[in-house]
């Protein structure tokens, strides 16, 4: 209080004794006060604007650091899992290196102090999966077989209401195309892809395989038959066959793609040997559904190949070799009149005699 009254008395004395100097001093003090208030207001505004941005950048830096560590740990975990899977399953590794199932079992048994029965139990029966190329019956999208026996060397994939984004099966030898192989008892076809017809059993209703885009590419078959198929866009190109009959008829099949939201994981298998390959819709009245089905470089012997009961947006049958009896009159490649298309490309398909596919 004393300081206030002292300053006030000094201002009054300066105004009385030296009016211009006193007024200038007052004006200077007032201006300094105004500047201080303005600076304080500006500092508050600046802090309000920049504080959330700074906080966001700090949070972002912390988030990025955490995600980097998590991604690194996930990558390392996958590498170790793959390493241990290979170490646990030398049988699958030998199949991928090109050995037949018989050769793989023989070599594993010969290189082990255990009996062949123990080798089979510890290798073939361990970690069976579609992605590892193990034979069996698989209910898509499960990667684990629902049925497996040592003597069962068929790869069968049953599709149902759960849609699959991609199924890719490539680079396989089938039927009797490799030493020691044979078709399953009572079977005459090496490859069967599609739904199943209605049969005498009233408990079963026929099914179709619904496909957005199906690719049949570079097959080697003794015969290839297409029947009971609806394809919006049918492409038959570059096939070389021991006689051919392409009798597809125009119609109005709709274009299609297969959705399903959070659908099943993609399924891939390659570099394996099987007595037979089946991709079916085996549940009564329930169509199998897959958006992209790619079947490429399949080498077969000992029976025919069939595509049947399929509804496709686009069906490509391209660059296949079909035949084995050196008789053009028997029509090894047949596209029956039950195949209906909206648009069709039929180009560069030629005929020529050829012998039965060789045993590999």
CA–CA gap between residue 153 and residue 26 (Å, rounded): 104
Give pLDDT, residue 121.
41
Give pLDDT, residue 183.
92
Q: Which has the closest alpha carbon to 150: 180, 126, 120, 172? A: 120
Q: Note down pLDDT in tens along the chain; length 360 residues.
A: 566 556 656 666 555 565 566 566 666 766 776 777 677 777 767 766 666 666 667 777 777 887 787 777 777 766 666 565 555 455 455 544 555 444 554 555 454 433 333 344 434 445 688 888 889 888 888 888 888 887 889 999 999 888 999 999 999 999 999 988 899 888 999 999 999 998 867 788 999 999 999 999 999 999 999 999 999 999 999 999 999 999 999 999 999 999 877 676 789 999 899 999 999 998 899 999 999 999 999 999 999 999 999 999 999 999 999 999 999 999 999 999 999 999 999 999 999 999 999 998
Give pLDDT, residue 132.
86
Q: Which has the closest alpha carbon to 303: 202, 239, 223? A: 223
Give pLDDT, residue 264.
67
Say if strands 321-322 and 136-139 run parallel, antiparallel, or are unpaired: unpaired
**What letter would DSSP give residue 149?**
-
Q: Is the dihedral of CA 152, 155, 159, 165 positive or negative?
A: positive
CA–CA gap between residue 330 and residue 323 (Å, rounded): 9
Q: Which has the closest alpha carbon to 317: 338, 337, 300, 293? A: 293
Confirm if 193 and 306 have CB atoms less than 8 A apart. Answer: yes
pTM of the model: 0.66
Confirm if 303 and 190 have CB atoms less than 8 A apart. Answer: yes
Residue ranges covered by each domain of the chain? 64-127, 135-351
Give pLDDT, residue 105.
46
Residues whose CB falls within 8 Å of the CB of residue 130, separated by 6 or more in sequence, listed in order: 138, 142, 143, 144, 145, 157, 267, 269
């Amino acid at each position: 209080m004393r300081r206030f009254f002292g300053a006030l008395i000094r201002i009054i004395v300066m105004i009385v004794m030296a009016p211009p100097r006193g007024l200038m001093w007052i004006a200077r003090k007032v201006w300094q006060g105004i500047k201080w208030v303005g600076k304080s207001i500006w500092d508050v505004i600046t802090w309000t604007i920049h504080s959330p941005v700074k906080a966001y950048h700090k949070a972002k830096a912390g988030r990025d650091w955490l995600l980097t560590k998590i991604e690194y740990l996930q990558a390392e975990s996958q590498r170790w899992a793959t390493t241990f899977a290979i170490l646990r399953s030398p049988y699958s590794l030998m199949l991928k290196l090109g050995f037949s199932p018989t050769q793989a079992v023989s070599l594993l048994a010969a290189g082990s102090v255990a009996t062949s029965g123990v080798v089979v139990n510890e290798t073939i029966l361990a970690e069976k999966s579609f992605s590892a190329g193990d034979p069996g019956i698989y209910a898509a999208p499960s990667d684990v077989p629902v049925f497996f026996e040592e003597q069962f060397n068929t790869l069968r994939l049953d599709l149902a209401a759960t849609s699959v984004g991609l199924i890719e099966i490539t680079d396989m030898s089938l039927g009797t195309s490799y030493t020691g192989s044979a078709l399953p008892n009572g079977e005459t076809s090496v490859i069967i892809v599609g739904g199943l017809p209605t049969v005498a059993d009233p408990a079963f209703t026929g099914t179709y395989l619904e496909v957005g885009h199906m690719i049949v590419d570079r097959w080697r078959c003794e015969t290839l038959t297409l029947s009971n198929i609806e394809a919006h866009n049918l492409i038959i190109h570059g096939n070389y066959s021991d006689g051919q009959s392409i009798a597809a008829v125009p119609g109005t099949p709709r274009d299609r793609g297969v959705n399903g939201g959070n659908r099943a994981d993609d399924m891939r298998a390659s570099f394996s040997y099987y007595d037979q390959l089946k991709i079916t819709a085996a549940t009564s009245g329930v169509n199998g559904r897959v958006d992209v089905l790619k079947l490429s470089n399949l080498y077969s012997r000992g029976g025919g190949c069939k595509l049947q009961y399929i509804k496709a947006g686009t069906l490509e049958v391209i660059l296949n070799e079909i035949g084995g009896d050196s008789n053009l009159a028997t029509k090894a490649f047949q596209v029956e009149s039950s195949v209906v298309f909206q648009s069709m490309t039929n180009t560069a398909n030629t005929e020529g005699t050829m012998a039965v596919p060789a045993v590999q």
